[in-house]
Amino acid sequence: MDVSTPDYISLFLKFKEGDKHAFSFFYEFYINDLYAYGISLGGEKEVVKDAIQDVFLKIYFGEKNFSSPDHLKYFLLKSLKNRLYNIYTSKAVSTSTGLTEDVLGFSVTTTVLDRIIDEEDRVIIKQQVDDLLTKLTARQKEAIYLRFVQELEYEEIAEIMDITQHAARKLISRSLKRLKDDEQRILIHLFTLVFF
């Protein structure tokens, strides 16, 4: 469902008012995107699932800091990243291991390829994606993922990654320049195969 359709907008307004049906709809609508992003951030499966629940519970019981239907996805992704960061920061402090510069290191895993039926195709595509992704840093992978898989605007990417909008544009541009033209097209095409 497109965020500009009347049904989506109507459900969004009900969601903001606390309607349980609308709440359930948006949970189901975004759960796969949120889960894939959380896993890509390096979160453990159960921790990611719990963090997604935490985000939705916080929304349900009061925090609705999103202004329009087209900002909901961005809000959910940012909230999930913040929640995971808090969880892993807390774990690092409690185990006295100290913090690394990035508590969560972004890494696109291609295990989502289970959606592809043919095993041979799965192996070939997984290898192609993995080969291309080795050329990018964790932050470059995250920026590319947010732009081309989650289809976020540069302003939203900047806020999620805690950088300026100019820096977000530059990061994506440099990431794409790091790949040859053919590799860019292949990576974006493979991303759409893997995640859609």
pTM of the predicted model as reported, rounded to 2 decimal places: 0.70
d(CA 148, CA 163): 18
Q: Rounded to a whole number, what is the largest CA-CA distance in the chain?
A: 51
* Residues of the chain under the 50 pLDDT cut: 96-101, 109-117, 196
* Collapsed DSSP state (helix, strand, coil) of residue 19: coil
Query: What is the predicted pLDDT for the residue at 196?
Result: 43
Query: What is the predicted pLDDT for the residue at 182?
Result: 55
CATH tag for 111-195 (out of 1.10.10, 1.10.150, 1.25.10, 3.20.170):
1.10.10
Helical segments of the chain, H only: 6-17, 20-40, 45-60, 69-94, 119-133, 138-144, 154-161, 165-178, 181-195
Contact of 176 with 135, CB cutoff 8 Å: no
Look at the chain and count its residues: 196
Contact of 91 with 51, CB cutoff 8 Å: no
Four-point Cα dihedral 72, 73, 74, 80, nearest 10 = 110
d(CA 126, CA 148): 18
Q: What tokens appear for 120 in the block?
A: 């041979």
Q: What tokens appear for 111 in the block?
A: 């295990």
Nearest to 28 by CA among 2, 7, 69, 56: 56
Nearest to 72 by CA among 85, 59, 62, 84: 59
Query: What is the predicted pLDDT for the residue at 170?
Result: 94
Where do the domains of the chain lie? Answer: 6-94, 111-195
Q: Nearest 5 degrees, angle CA 190-CA 194-CA 196?
A: 110
d(CA 54, CA 51): 5
Nearest to 27 by CA among 64, 53, 63, 1: 53
* Collapsed DSSP state (helix, strand, coil) of residue 100: coil
The class of domain 6-94 in CATH terms is mainly alpha
Nearest to 146 by CA among 33, 25, 54, 55: 33
